[in-house]
Amino acid sequence: MRTTEKYTGEQEKIRQEGCIERAEEYVKALSIRLGRRPTCCVTTFGCQMNARDSEKLAGILERAGYELTEDESADFVIFNTCTVRDNANQRVYGRLGHLNSLKKKNPHMKIALCGCMMQEKAVIEKIQKSYGFVDLIFGTHNIYKFAELLVRMFEADRMVVDIWEDTDQIVENLPVERKYPFKSGINIMFGCNNFCSYCIVPYVRGRERSRNPEDIINEIKKMAEEGVVEVMLLGQNVNSYGKNLAAPMSFAQLLREVEKIDGIKRIRFMTSHPKDLSDELIQVMKESKKICRHLHLPLQSGSTRILKAMNRRYTKEQYLALAEKIRKEIPDIAITTDIIVGFPGEEPADVDETIDVVKKVQYDNAFTFIYSKRTGTPAAAMENQVPEEVVKEGFDRLLKVVQDTARQRVSLLEGQVQEALVEGVNQQERGLLTGRLSNNTIVHFPGDARLIGQIVPVYLEQCHGFYYIGKLHERP
């Protein structure tokens, strides 16, 4: 089954379809042995890109004959891992210990690991040495070969490891099992060329490669035919979309094409790098009836000195000017961000600079992280690592300002009627539904579960910090 021969995308798709059929035979045989349909559980760690990859894995597993479940005592368990921060790695190791105890009780159980964490050589060595009960390991670049790897796993009597350092291959139209029938993420590109000094992503996801716009548009049209009303366009930096295509196309131009698709009512995207967010994109967002009023614009630090050490390629002043321009052109937009505290060499005065940006931009939400040293990145080798107590003090100061400003921003909608996409039944309180506004704010309100997947008007009665309690509003 293993091959080093290069195939076109269409040839590879045909090969993998054949592998799904072979995997189906093995799953059928397992079914007979168990006297029931085998179950599988795909657990996702990390970002929306990982979540989308997990939907692809689930689609292939279901086609092969497995029954999907969220129970990790399933017959086949796959962890789709993240390695952006060290605690993500530690969570996986902890959960593997639990899986080992389950596998001892169920010898037929299979365990697979994939995703960004598996692209690290030290991780593979540790798993091979200490977690020999794992059956299959693969990375981010060969996920489209999952059916083929499944067959190899069934045929092997030892751990199967298949890690690629990079790839330029994109294989279209393999099975996908979406988590939600009414909304979906869609990859428009893979990889990253930015090489921020703290970030492991370019090393584990590879260099940027954009999908052809025709393939993206056709996939979204198919989603719309199947009932999807909201799509999220995914890339490590969507602003770089199209630069490496034979016929270059900007991200803003792609958005215009997506907006033309009948049935799609909302368009989101993630993530935008501030260094190349264009005026063209701002204008497309301003004029659009479908693009959601939410922009995630990672800051990382408000200190120009630290930004330079991070290799972010913009200054504090440039970021503030961009945010001001966006607010001026699109007054009702919600801006969210990512911020790192404790980057090597950071001093309390640098944290003050970050707090200053938070106060000036007035973020609707900010995801604040303590710097995590990732082996293999330039920042990990920097000598001036910040003491833990200094990091915590800065983090606590920043977090208070972030929370205070975000509460003020979110509360501005109180007393208004806003459109909400109903995403599900509230898990904490019976009788309530949970919906998401265009600006990404959550609202809980009484309603019938039959409304799930619909966009409905909701009166926002009370703001509770970062979410609303509301009620359905009659359309005029």
- Each residue's pLDDT tens digit, 293-318: 999 999 999 999 999 999 999 999 99
pLDDT at 3: 43
* Spatial CB neighbours of 326, under 8 Å, sequence gap ≥ 6: 282, 295, 297, 333, 335
Report the chain's mean pLDDT, rounded to a whole number.
92
Taking alpha carbons only, the member of 327, 196, 176 closest to residue 273 is: 196
pLDDT at 281: 97
Length of the chain equals 476
pLDDT at 465: 87
pLDDT at 350: 98
Q: Tell me the one-letter amino acid at 10.
A: E
Answer whether the bond into residue 271 is a cis peptide, omega within 30°: yes
pLDDT at 476: 65
Q: For residue 360, give the DSSP letter.
A: H
Strands (DSSP E) contained in 235-287 are: 266-270
- Residue with the bigger pLDDT between 90 and 299: it is 299
Burial of 57 (0-12, 13-18, 19+ CB in 10 A): buried
Q: Tell me the one-letter amino acid at 97.
A: G
Rounded CA-CA distance 377/203 in Å is: 9
pLDDT at 1: 36
Sorting pLDDT into bands at 50, 70 and 90, what band is 47? confident
Percent of the chain with pLDDT over 90: 78
pLDDT single digits (tens) 162-211: 998 776 656 556 667 788 899 999 999 988 999 999 998 888 888 899 99
pLDDT at 37: 96
- Residue with the bigger pLDDT between 145 and 351: it is 351
Query: CA 158 → CA 136, 155, 161, distances in Å?
Result: 9, 9, 10
Output the six-digit token pair for 242: 């199209």
* Spatial CB neighbours of 334, under 8 Å, sequence gap ≥ 6: 293, 294, 295, 364, 365, 409, 439, 440, 441
Sorting pLDDT into bands at 50, 70 and 90, what band is 4? very low
Rounded CA-CA distance 228/264 in Å is: 7
Q: Tell me the one-letter amino acid at 206.
A: G
Rounded CA-CA distance 65/73 in Å is: 17
Mean pLDDT, residues 411-422 taken together? 97
Strand partners, 341: 370
Output the six-digit token pair for 15: 């090969």
Mean pLDDT, residues 119-136 taken together? 94
Helices (H) and strands (E) in the chain, counts: 13, 19
